[in-house]
Amino acid sequence: MKRSLSMILMIVAAFALVLAGCGAKEKTSSGSEPSAGEDGKKVYKVGTEATFAPFESLDDKGNVVGIDVDILQAIADEMGFEVEWQNIGWEPVFQTIKNGETDIGASGITINEKRKESFDFTEPYYESQLLIVVKEDSKIKSLAELKDKKISVQINATGHEAAKKLQGESSTNILAFENQPIAIQEMLNGNVDAAIGDNAVVYEYIKAHPNEKLKVIEDDAFEKEYYGFMVQKGNTELLNLLNEGLKKIKENGKLKEITGTEFKEKK
């Protein structure tokens, strides 16, 4: 009797070891080694911040939907892989690519030199520009006029960079928030004079909030920006896969169909 009990214990212990082994494997497979989905297709984890319609937002079932989702799905279909979306917040999009918890950052991310030091980006797929949002009765007409004004932005987004360029790195007149809708809301609440955000997203916000009395100011002092998908630095295999798929959907008209605009290649 005693013997069989210790046998059982041994078997249980062996099982626990096997299970622990599986768990550990699951963890390391997340970054550069994606897990396999149905029909053995690779499944890449995609990180995003889904309050950025029309690029990414949540539908009423909690699914991430939008232009970025459609573009990446079209690429995945072309290249034969699968994607799993995770709405994790803006700064975690960058952190989780770095530590390998996600494979692709897809979040209306502007490609720029600073980010390229730490990440790799696909070819661009969308042209964008920042703009200023103020209350309808505001007298502000240009970026230069925001020099001494209070500005709200999304933290560590390009709008935040633009505000710091104008007012200095440590300006206390810049209020940085988790996402773009909150930054606009702060301006509507009267806590700041103006918000800075990505044009297509601001226009979509205005469309979704027709009763808010808002006005936008476009200013060519803002440089043109280009969105790309982001991967871990040095993950050339995934980068090439994404670029090849992107090239295909640029050529076959699918990208234009999704975004509604012809993508003008960057000069």
Amino acid at 191: N
CB of 66 to ligand ARG, least distance (A): 9
CB of 80 to ligand ARG, least distance (A): 27
Sole residue written with tokens 């029309």: 54
CB of 84 to ligand ARG, least distance (A): 17
CB of 158 to ligand ARG, least distance (A): 4
Q: Would you say 107 or 259 has its CB closer to ligand ARG?
A: 107
Q: ∠ CA 8-13-19 to the nearest 5 degrees?
A: 125
Contact predicate 233/97, CB 8 Å: no
Q: Would you say 39 or 220 has its CB closer to ligand ARG?
A: 220
Q: Would you say 154 or 259 has its CB closer to ligand ARG?
A: 154
CA-based nearest residue to 104, from 224, 225, 237: 237
Crossing angle (nearest 10°) for helices 180-188 and 199-208: 60
**Site for ligand ARG, rule CB under 6 A:** 48-49, 52, 56, 90, 107-110, 154, 157-158, 179-180, 198
Nearest-angstrom CA–CA distance, 91 and 106: 12
Q: Would you say 44 or 222 has its CB closer to ligand ARG?
A: 222
